Structure 1
Amino acid sequence: MAWKSRTRSLQVFDTELSADSVEWCPVSSNHSILACGTYQLQKGAKEEDTTPSRTGRLYLFEFQQQGYMSPPLTELQRMDTPAILDLKWCHVLLSGKAVLGMAAATGELQLYTMSDSQEGSRSLQTLSSLEVGAERLALSLDWSTGRMDSSDVRVVCSDSTGCVSVLSLAEGTLTALTQWKAHDFEAWISAFSYWDTQLVYSGGDDCKLKGWDLRIGPSCPTFTSKRHSMGVCSIHSSPHQEHILATGSYDEQVLLWDGRNMRQPLSETAMGGGVWRLKWHPTHQHLLLAACMHNDFHILHCQQALEGSGGACPVIASYILHNSLAYGADWSRLSLEKHAPCSPIVAEPKESLAESGGHLRIQYESPTASFDTSLEDDAGRYIPEGIAVASTSPTVGPVLNPDGDVPSLSCLLASCSFYDHMLHVWRWDWTRDETQQELQQC
């Protein structure tokens, strides 16, 4: 069975400051909400100013499908903040509200609640903050609620001194439970095991991936892996399969692990760029999104690796329209219509697309599928996705299907890039290629 994979840009937003984190709200009543964080290094105006300042801005958006001529993303709020290194929504409501966590360059973990205004719009308000340490940057955070478990809600945070902190949240107040020195240099990433939230993973610039059991204390890690050859900067526990862990590194490799045997990974996939963020799909257990710094954003299909066949995970879709470091990326849980809205049929313009500044499209092929990517115009203006030229026929690759008997899959995603300060919202459609099937039957 041949499958057709297509990514299409829906909207591009200039964040003005360098963008490094995007997160769709996972709470069911707020799937249309997107948060974006930025990080800007401000050098001193004078040569003697040796300490640079770091500023940031937090954006809140809502995605609405209002018709093919309207940009789907609406800005709800922006607020100036310390520079933002990471954002994560709590996966469940807390006291009836969605809560967003932010790791800041001031060494603070800050929490915001989302509320509805009298006008019906949503906005963020400060809930609580806690400094994890002086003269350090908070680099990452993760909630213990990855499997939608609302009991014993905790947050893990890593920082630039190599420390990892675990905090509790009770009655809207953050409280530090424990902190320890986990890595020799920056602890780029920390994450819970969503299946056993007494287990914590961390990765650092010392090239080590470590595990910690909070029940026995952090005096000694449960394992230390040196399988990555450079700094470990991404970790995500699978919410679908117990013991499964994905890690990424500056060494440009994505490793899949079975937490019961950390001596050897299940799979190793070269990505062509440092892997800053990894995100498992919220409902389809074999799909993994990777933000690959110098090599764009890619979706991996991990079924064969997780079933023990080994080998690299094939890339089944790519989004290649950013022009700078690929940092933030996330899946939305919002459902999309099966078919994109179509524009009226018009006569083909005489001038070329490049001359008219019209819709552009990039096509390329991989060993597993052909990719068809739609792009807004050169000025960054919104171009309705229905205007895109029809995609080409896909190549025939390995038998990779969406989980179960799903005939097609349409996903909404967001990604952001650093130096060009751009936020992209895009969709990915993965469908059976009926045309190719008919040709094969002839």
Structure 2
Amino acid sequence: MAWKSRTRSLQVFDTELSADTVEWCPVSPHHNILVCGTYQLQKGTGEEDATPSRTGRLYLFEFRREGPMSPPLTELQRMDTAAILDLKWCHVPLSEQAVLGLAAATGELQLYTLSDGQEGGCSLQSLSSVEVGVDRLALSLDWSTGRMDGSDVRLVCSDSAGCVSVLSLAEGALTVLSQWKAHDFEAWISAFSYWDTQLLYSGGDDCKLKGWDLRVGPSCPTFTSKRHSMGVCSIHSSPHREHILATGSYDEQVLLWDGRNMRQPLSETPMGGGVWRLKWHPSHQHLLLAACMHNDFHILHCQQALEGSGGACPIVASYILHNSLAYGADWSRLSLEEPAPCSPLTAEPKESLAEGGGHVRIQYESPTASFDTSLEDDAGRYIPEGITAPAASVAAGPTLSLDSDSPSLSCLLASCSFYDHMLHAWRWDWTPNAAQQEPDQ
């Protein structure tokens, strides 16, 4: 049987500054709350002001269903901050409040609580902050609570000096428990094993994926993998299946791993773009969301790979309406059993950045690094300067023939893109056992 899959844009929001991270709140009853973080490099204008500054803004939104002509996202708050590299909500309430973690370009890890307002709205209030190091950028963070266990709440943070820090939170105060040099260059990503939170993973610009056991200390990693051929920038432990880990890299590959055997991945899936973020679905164990830099956002179905087939994971849906680097993406836990509103300002593919068509392909990029560009046509062929590219076209995805006993579902997602500073709210409707698959829109 084939699957019927459709993505639909609900709303597009201009964040003004370059957007690189989005997160839906996992804490009930706030599944309709969304945050978005931005990163803007402000270059100095003269010799006396040659040092660039990094500024950002934190947005807070509420998703509402008020009717087909009302945009579903309502902005509740915006807060100017240092440039934001990563955002993560604690998966469980702390002192009966949802808590947001923020990794800042100042080298700080900042915490905010979500408070209910007097008129029914919500707002973020500063709770605590700690500097993980001077002259460095905090690049990522993760909470130990991925399986909704609040008995041992800790955070892990990676930074531009290649260090990994583990922090505790007690009575609203952050404390650094340990910090060590984990990678030769930027440590782009760090993450807990949600099943054994004494185990950590980290990935760096030195192309290495490493494991750490806090019980034996950080003097030596439990493993070092060089299976990725470029910088490792995304790691997410499965909250559904023990030992399962997903990693992504600038090498444009998504690898699935069994943590008991890190010599060889379970599967390798080419994505056509550097994989900046990976997110397992909060309740459907085989679905994996990937933000693929210059190749949009995709949803992978990983069942066969996790059952030992060894093949690449099929892409069951793609969201292609962004016009810039795909960085931030996340699933909402909000139920979409009722029809979701569609904004009258639905997203349409924008004109290419290059006059005459074609795509500006970013050869290497990160929110903190410079980049080189070249112009390509739809088939990936290089277009020399001065040559008019053919008009862009969108091809329908292939029909899939995979059996599944999963029920139909409708998912609410958010994604953001960098240089066009856009936040998109969108939905994915998926019906297994359909007669045929409709192309994504």
Interval containing the TM-score (normalised by the shorter chain):
0.7 to 0.9
Equivalence for 2:217: 217
Query: Which residue identity does 1:399 align to in structure 2?
Result: L
CA distance in 1, matches of 2:174, 2:270: 39
Runs of 5+ in structure 1 lacking a partner?
Answer: 344-356, 363-391, 438-442
Matched-pair contact (CA < 8 Å) for 1:240–1:285: yes
Equivalence for 1:167: 167
Per-residue deviation at 1:399?
1.6
- What is the 5 A alignment of 1:48-87? 48-87=48-87
Per-residue deviation at 1:120?
1.4
Residues 177 and 395 (structure 1 numbering): CA distance in 2 closer, same or farther, change over 3 Å? closer
Equivalence for 1:314: 314
Per-residue deviation at 1:210?
0.1
Residues 232 and 432 (structure 1 numbering): CA distance in 2 closer, same or farther, change over 3 Å? closer
Per-residue deviation at 1:329?
0.2
Equivalence for 1:305: 305
Tell me if 1:134 matches 2:134: yes
Per-residue deviation at 1:47?
3.5
Matched-pair contact (CA < 8 Å) for 1:10–1:72: yes
SS in 2 for 1:330: strand
Query: Which residue identity does 2:162 align to in structure 1?
Result: G
Residues 201 and 435 (structure 1 numbering): CA distance in 2 closer, same or farther, change over 3 Å? closer
Equivalence for 1:325: 325
Q: State the Cα RMSD in Å.
A: 2.0
Tell me if 1:21 matches 2:21: yes
CA distance in 2, matches of 1:176, 1:70: 45
Equivalence for 1:9: 9
Equivalence for 1:152: 152
Equivalence for 1:188: 188
Equivalence for 2:247: 247
Normalising by structure 1, we get a TM-score of 0.86
Residues 302 and 118 (structure 1 numbering): CA distance in 2 closer, same or farther, change over 3 Å? same
SS in 2 for 1:29: coil
Matched-pair contact (CA < 8 Å) for 1:2–1:395: no
Equivalence for 2:113: 113
Per-residue deviation at 1:315?
0.4
SS in 2 for 1:294: coil
Residues 308 and 172 (structure 1 numbering): CA distance in 2 closer, same or farther, change over 3 Å? same
Tell me if 1:36 matches 2:39: no
Matched-pair contact (CA < 8 Å) for 1:97–1:114: yes
CA distance in 2, matches of 1:126, 1:274: 33
CA distance in 2, matches of 1:26, 1:149: 13
CA distance in 2, matches of 1:102, 1:177: 18
Matched-pair contact (CA < 8 Å) for 1:209–1:224: yes
Query: Which residue identity does 1:241 align to in structure 2?
Result: R
CA distance in 1, matches of 2:319, 2:93: 32
Residues 245 and 301 (structure 1 numbering): CA distance in 2 closer, same or farther, change over 3 Å? same
Query: Which residue identity does 1:114 align to in structure 2?
Result: L
Residues 434 and 78 (structure 1 numbering): CA distance in 2 closer, same or farther, change over 3 Å? same
Per-residue deviation at 1:67?
1.3
Equivalence for 1:232: 232
Equivalence for 1:398: 401
Equivalence for 1:423: 423
Residues 413 and 271 (structure 1 numbering): CA distance in 2 closer, same or farther, change over 3 Å? same
Equivalence for 1:93: 93
Matched-pair contact (CA < 8 Å) for 2:71–2:341: no
SS in 2 for 1:278: strand
Q: Deviation per CA, 1:369-424, whole angstroms, max 9, x where unpaired?
A: xxxxxxxxxxxxxxxxxxxxxxx9996422243xx541x11000000000000000
Per-residue deviation at 1:179?
0.1
Residues 324 and 430 (structure 1 numbering): CA distance in 2 closer, same or farther, change over 3 Å? same
Matched-pair contact (CA < 8 Å) for 1:137–1:159: yes
SS in 1 for 2:168: strand
**Aligned-pair identity (%):** 84
Matched-pair contact (CA < 8 Å) for 1:298–1:319: yes
Aligned residues: 392
SS in 2 for 1:30: coil
Per-residue deviation at 1:55?
0.3
Residues 200 and 341 (structure 1 numbering): CA distance in 2 closer, same or farther, change over 3 Å? closer
Matched-pair contact (CA < 8 Å) for 2:237–2:244: yes
CA distance in 2, matches of 1:42, 1:270: 34
SS in 1 for 2:29: helix
Equivalence for 1:292: 292
CA distance in 2, matches of 1:18, 1:8: 23
Residues 169 and 48 (structure 1 numbering): CA distance in 2 closer, same or farther, change over 3 Å? same
SS in 1 for 2:304: helix
CA distance in 2, matches of 1:162, 1:231: 12
CA distance in 1, matches of 2:84, 2:348: 33
SS in 2 for 1:120: coil
Residues 28 and 264 (structure 1 numbering): CA distance in 2 closer, same or farther, change over 3 Å? same
Query: Which residue identity does 1:2 align to in structure 2?
Result: A
CA distance in 1, matches of 2:294, 2:434: 35
Q: Deviation per CA, 1:260-281, whole angstroms, max 9, x where unpaired?
A: 0000000000000000000000
Per-residue deviation at 1:425?
0.2
Residues 300 and 400 (structure 1 numbering): CA distance in 2 closer, same or farther, change over 3 Å? farther
Per-residue deviation at 1:435?
5.7
Per-residue deviation at 1:223?
0.1
CA distance in 1, matches of 2:235, 2:115: 30
Normalising by structure 2, we get a TM-score of 0.86
CA distance in 1, matches of 2:347, 2:42: 36
CA distance in 1, matches of 2:275, 2:98: 28
Matched-pair contact (CA < 8 Å) for 1:338–1:410: no
Query: Which residue identity does 2:106 align to in structure 1?
Result: T
CA distance in 1, matches of 2:310, 2:40: 41
